[in-house]
Amino acid sequence: MQGKTSSDLPPGFRFHPTDEELIIYYLRNQATSRPLPVSIIPEVDIYKFDPWQLPEKAEFGENEWYFFTPRDRKYPNGVRPNRATVSGYWKATGTDKAIYSGSKYVGVKKALVFYKGRPPKGIKSDWIMHEYRLNDSRKQVKQQNGSMRLDDWVLCRIYKKRNIGRNLEEKVEITNTQLEKPVANDATSKRQPYNPSLDFQNVMSNAGTGTDHAENFQLGEMATHYTNSGKFQHHIVKNLEPKSHGNKVESVNTMDCILLRWNQRNKKGPKTWPIVGAAIEQLVNYERMHDWLVEYLSKLRTVVVPMPFTTYTYIADPANVEHVLKTNFANYPKGDTYHSYMEVLLGEGIFNVDGEVWRKQRKTASFEFASKNLRDFSTRVFREYSLKLSSILSHASSNNQEVDMQELFMRMTLDSICKVGFGVEIGTLAPNLPDNCFAQAFDTANIIVTLRFIDPLWKIKNSLTWDQKLYLTRALKSLMISPTLSFVEGKQKWEKLESAIIARRAKEESVTLLQFDFDDLESFTQRAVQYAGFLTYDSLGKLYYLHAVITETLRLYPAVPQDPKGILEDDILPDGTKVKAGGMVTYVPYSMGRMEYNWGSDAASFKPERWLKDGFFQNASPFKFTAFQAGPRICLGKDSAYLQMKMTLAILCRFFKFDLVPNHPVQYRMMTILSMAHGLKLRASRLS
């Protein structure tokens, strides 16, 4: 035995903790300065040493040695750790493994290999490290100015591979080392023969399904891309294994790649090709991308789309969504890629930043949104602008003119947000409907930046000339779209809404209603003003059916139909899908709302009743109904948005009947927000 034997333990005792035990009893206690079950893991900054110097720094251990070590940043503002040592560097290998305690996600295990020399020319050694990190490790460290510290503590297990030469297939590793040490090393507490190499391979295995079998991805095999019903399948492509000559593995040649993809042709996911990945299929389906995803996600729940320089993983299963938006939130920021694509549109605003900058903006904005004064003021503004819209509609109905509701809602929300946010009257909803260049520029810019997500050449082609100050919160537009689509879906429900409003009003307010002459616009307007006066924050709050209609609309037509997140470090989603640092994970509200596995067999039907129980509105889990996102970045304007949508719909549905202009195409266009390609052309008629 090398190193010191802990004097606390009698001879013969060995230290072979499971992954879960290492995290729960050792790392967590160390991080929170609580006593450890036994103090045999020293604190050593392992990056100050080369791995062969470490055994003598350990207090306990035969063929593997444990250390608590702090990690420093590679760059002052980055989150990449510095992995350089005296004469080499540690390099991550395989995929991170999520460690669970029961169903709770508690930490991550990462495998690294030591290379002698300097990157990229280092020579691979047999020294292996397993690094254990708490799920919330970075919260431990308060960022101090100038500090290079990344996490307070990580726990490392170091060992040297034995009996095997470098670059031999992992299968050989298993066979050799399985014979070595019959000791447990399994996070699920099913005790299995211990084997560092096997354990190393578990990093690559499927944590989600609890199957700890080793997966030996080799060149010529396809890593799993598609998961179905939480099952993790991998497809081995026969006859394409690389030829191994001694220690050298030949790279797969182009023909092999083509054959490999050809062999995939019957798989359930999108077709992938060498170099371009699935970009071709995605481009071909770009204009109908939301429905393209619905098709795959209804079969697969998670679909992985390799692209030329990155991989997009689309998710629709609430467990995966919760993992990304909440449980492992720190690993899934907006990220650099999203930031660079959207910068021209969103600048450094809350929608487009991460880390401290986001936290500060979020805190400030949260206070604002919580203010009762703001709420009361918004209620008045929303009422005022809904009435302006009503007046425009009543003139249009007198003249039998068609209107574009999408455009009118855009003007209304733009005017009201400027009034609420900045106290400024911008007047785009004036009766003469002046030019609205700002909204048009926003739309155009949005269409262009959205295409960047699937166009790898956008940087080369980038010739944007619009004003860089085109900064507008997505919320503005979101707010516009939702009532627009309610109009499409909710038409038949209006009578019901109206009677609910009238019944409550009659009961709660014993006021004599103004009489009005249907053909006299002036008296019609006065009546609408009187009616709108009944619509307060409290009275609108009781209109559960209206709330259900809006929510049901957002389920099927979420204003943000898909929302991508960056990936900082390799991870495994709860269904076993592996995601790699540098890629993107996108939760897809548009698909999620249509999945039978989320909503039952009537998922595709517009049914506000699904949100009501005994006449009261019932919320669903925010990880299933994701229109407002969920977790720490959940939409801050949700209540305000409902208030405005309810105010507007309550007034318009009471006083107007709407008919879609015959043959008007109801189609979306591809933007980060869900928008109608040809607007929404309606003819409004006044109701008595």
Judged by the rule CB under 6 A, the positions of this chain that interact with ligand HEM are 350-351, 362, 365, 475, 478-479, 482, 554, 559-560, 563, 627-629, 633, 635-637, 640-641
Measure Cα distances from 27 to 18, 48, 108, 135 in Å. Answer: 12, 21, 11, 11
Encode burial over 144-165: b for 16+ CB neighbours within 10 A, e otherwise: eeeeeebbbbbbbbbbbbeebe
The H-assigned helical ranges of 248-325 are 254-263, 279-284, 289-300, 318-322
Instruction: Tally the C-alpha atoms within 13 A of residue 441's C-alpha that lie toward its C-beta.
Output: 15
Is-contact 573 318, C-beta < 8 A?
Answer: no
DSSP H or E run through 127: strand 123-134
Which residues, including other chains, have CB under 8 Å from residue 50's CB and lie 6 or more apart? 85, 86, 87, 88, 114
Nearer to ligand HEM, 47 or 625 (CB): 625
Q: Is 437 annotated as a binding residue?
A: no
User: Is the CB of 3 or the CB of 349 nearer to ligand HEM?
Assistant: 349
Q: Which residues contact 161 (CB under 8 A, 6 or more apart)?
A: 126, 127, 128, 173, 177, 196, 197
Cβ-in-10-Å burial (0-12, 13-18, 19+) of 517 comes to: exposed
CB of 393 to ligand HEM, least distance (A): 21
Closest distance to ligand HEM from the beta carbon of 348 (Å):
13
Q: Closer to ligand HEM at the Cβ: 129 or 414?
A: 414
Q: Would you say 321 or 651 has its CB closer to ligand HEM?
A: 321
Closer residue to ligand HEM, CB minimum distance, 279 or 342: 342
Determine the Cα–Cα distance for residues 437 and 470; give it in Å rounded to an integer.
Answer: 11
Provide the minimum distance between the beta carbon of 634 and ligand HEM in the complex, in angstroms, as a whole number.
7
CA distance 5 to 2: 8
Q: Which is nearer to ligand HEM, 61 or 558 (CB)?
A: 558
Q: Which is nearer to ligand HEM, 324 or 479 (CB)?
A: 479
Q: Helix H segments across 399-508? A: 405-422, 437-451, 458-461, 474-489, 494-508
43: left (phi over 0), alpha (psi -120 to 50) or beta: beta
Question: Closest separation between CB of residue 403 and ligand HEM, Å?
Answer: 21
Whose tokens are 């979306």? That residue is 668
To ligand HEM, the closest distance from the beta carbon of 327 in angstroms equals 17
Q: Give 81 or 622: the residue with its C-beta nearer to ligand HEM.
A: 622
Nearest distance from residue 415's CB to ligand HEM, in Å?
Answer: 13
Cis peptide before 483 (omega within 30 of 0): no
Q: 3-state class of 221 per DSSP?
A: coil
Residue closest to ligand HEM (Cβ): 637
For the annotated binding site for heme, the residues are 635
For the annotated binding site, the residues are 635
